[in-house]
């Protein structure tokens, strides 16, 4: 048996409003347009009239249920937060926070109250710690990642640093 993951589907009540939201905040375009069903460039699927297609009673469609989230990452978390801060239509679950593993993140709702989380990439987190002079072992403990993963990130950090220095 060969079964593979296809997509995450979000039931939406206003397709255009959802498309505008995912374009503005995540630079997503429609990759496949099937009318009521649209697949975005990241692979996320938006579906209007999901109750009719799936055979659910309309009243059983529960939005803002907090049972799942769609997760994105930002290379420049501060720039993303600037966009959020200047978007009064955003309803936040919480303000930007720093998690115990030192990654900054924020949760808010999309137009249909699906929870969206945006976190800075872990590569950004470890770069910041390496820039502060922390070694691989310290960073692994601080970010709660296996040392093997942090070693890979450190190698990438060193290569990027050497490249930048060679461009000066």
How are strands ordered across the β-sheet holding 37-40?
9-12, 45-48, 37-40, 30-33
Q: Structure tokens of 51?
A: 């109750």
Q: Specify the CATH class of 9-120 in words.
A: alpha beta
Rounded (10°) CA dihedral 136, 141, 144, 150: 10
Give yes or no for residue 153 having a pLDDT over 70. yes
Give yes or no for residue 131 having a pLDDT over 90. yes
Domains of the chain, residue spans: 9-120, 123-163
If pLDDT is split at 50, 70 and 90, which confidence band does 160 have?
confident
If pLDDT is split at 50, 70 and 90, which confidence band does 75 have?
very high
Query: CA dist 72 to 80, 105, 150, Å?
Result: 11, 10, 21
If pLDDT is split at 50, 70 and 90, which confidence band does 168 have?
low
C-alpha–C-alpha distance, residues 110 and 23, integer Å: 12
Q: Structure tokens of 87?
A: 């978007």
DSSP string for residues in 33-44: E-SSEEEETTS-
Q: What is the pLDDT of residues 9-53, one digit of tens each?
A: 999 999 999 999 999 999 999 999 999 999 999 999 999 999 999
C-alpha–C-alpha distance, residues 131 and 125, integer Å: 10
Residue 68 and residue 115 in contact, taking contact as beta carbons nearer than 8 Å: yes
């Amino acid at each position: 048996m060969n079964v593979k993951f296809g997509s995450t589907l979000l039931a939406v009540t206003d397709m255009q409003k959802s498309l505008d939201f995912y374009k503005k905040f995540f630079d997503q375009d429609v990759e496949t347009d099937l009318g009521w069903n649209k697949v975005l460039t990241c692979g996320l699927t938006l579906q209007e009239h999901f109750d009719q297609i799936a055979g659910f009673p309309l009243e059983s469609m529960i939005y803002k249920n907090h049972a799942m989230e769609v997760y994105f990452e930002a290379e420049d978390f501060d720039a993303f937060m600037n966009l959020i801060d200047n978007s009064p239509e955003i309803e936040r679950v919480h303000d930007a926070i720093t998690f115990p593993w030192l990654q900054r993140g924020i949760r808010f709702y999309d137009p249909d109250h699906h929870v969206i989380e945006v976190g800075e990439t872990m590569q950004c987190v470890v770069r910041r710690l390496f820039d502060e002079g922390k070694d691989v072992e310290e960073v692994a403990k601080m970010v709660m990642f296996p040392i093997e993963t942090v070693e890979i990130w450190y190698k990438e950090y060193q290569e990027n640093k050497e490249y930048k220095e060679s461009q000066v």
